[in-house]
Amino acid sequence: MNRLTSLLLTLLITSTITSGCAPQDSMSNYFAIDTNHGRMVVIIYDETPGHRDNFSKLADEEFYNGTTFHRVIQGFMIQGGDPNSKDDDPYNDGMGDPGYTLEAEIKPELINRRGALVSARQGDQVNPERRSSGSQFYVVQGGQPLTEAMLDQSEQQISQALGSSFAYTDAQRNTYTTVGGAPWLDMQYTVFGELVKGFEVLDAIALAPTPGTTGQGDPRLRDMPLEKIEMTVTRLTDYTPSN
């Protein structure tokens, strides 16, 4: 075997081994969240690798299957992913996790726009590092498009909290003034993905009747849907945005 042939074989073997050692790069970041109200499709951001890998792992292990959207607030968001929601005790929903939290990956370019996929977490008083829940997340429904004045106020509040200047980009302002969202949560929670399909499902879940909106049921569960809204989360290996 001459030197050139040997080199080509070495490169081929190395390429084959390398391509088999990085499955995350070749795996889809699109996931389906199926509910009795229909299907939502989300994409997980590579910009938040810790949350990307964690959500992917839990989904692939079927951790989320059978959990519910246990908290819904019309015009704001829907929250789910708590393993406690699989049991028959509604009073412990919202307090469960896989036994760990995640380091925050809060980035100014990732905002709480309508459809944003965001990690839930405990409050700053007990969680000053703003670490994320290991499994619970919320999807921003948002309400009406926001005004420039609202965004100015949000910038001021965020700047004061950070102790440094914060300003939205023109593109971010355009997003909030056209589709809405929850800017008062920016720079406080890790945004790690977004909804790309199924906004009508998001709206239907957010509008689900609760004790708070109907006066029925236990008022202590004011934001919990009267009917269980279970989810199944699966990776979409062949999904493209046009699907």
What is the domain-level CATH number for residue 65?
A: 2.40.100.10
pLDDT of residue 217: 93
Burial environment of residue 102 by CB neighbours within 10 A (0 to 12, 13 to 18, 19 or more): buried
In a domain, 57, yes or no: yes
In a domain, 211, yes or no: yes
- Report the pLDDT averaged over residues 122-133: 98
In a domain, 170, yes or no: no
Specify the long-range contacts of residues 24-28, CB closer than 8 Å, at least 24 apart: 24/52, 24/53, 24/56, 27/56, 27/235, 27/237, 28/235, 28/236, 28/237, 28/238, 28/239
Model confidence at 168: pLDDT above 60: yes
In a domain, 73, yes or no: yes
In a domain, 38, yes or no: yes
| CA 185 to mean position of chain CA atoms | 13
pLDDT of residue 153: 97
Residue 122 near residue 85, CB atoms below 8 Å: no
- Report the pLDDT averaged over residues 19-31: 60
Task: Tell me the residue range of the domain where 51 lies.
Answer: 27-144+186-235
Model confidence at 7: pLDDT above 60: no
pLDDT of residue 22: 34
pLDDT of residue 243: 59
Domains contained in the chain, number: 1
In a domain, 173, yes or no: no
Report percent pLDDT > 70 for the chain.
89
In a domain, 156, yes or no: no
Residue 201, both tokens: 């499902």
- Report the pLDDT averaged over residues 89-118: 98
Distance CA 192, CA 236 (A): 17
- Report the pLDDT averaged over residues 75-86: 98
Rg of the chain, C-alpha, whole Å: 21
pLDDT of residue 143: 79
- Report the pLDDT averaged over residues 202-214: 98
In a domain, 68, yes or no: yes
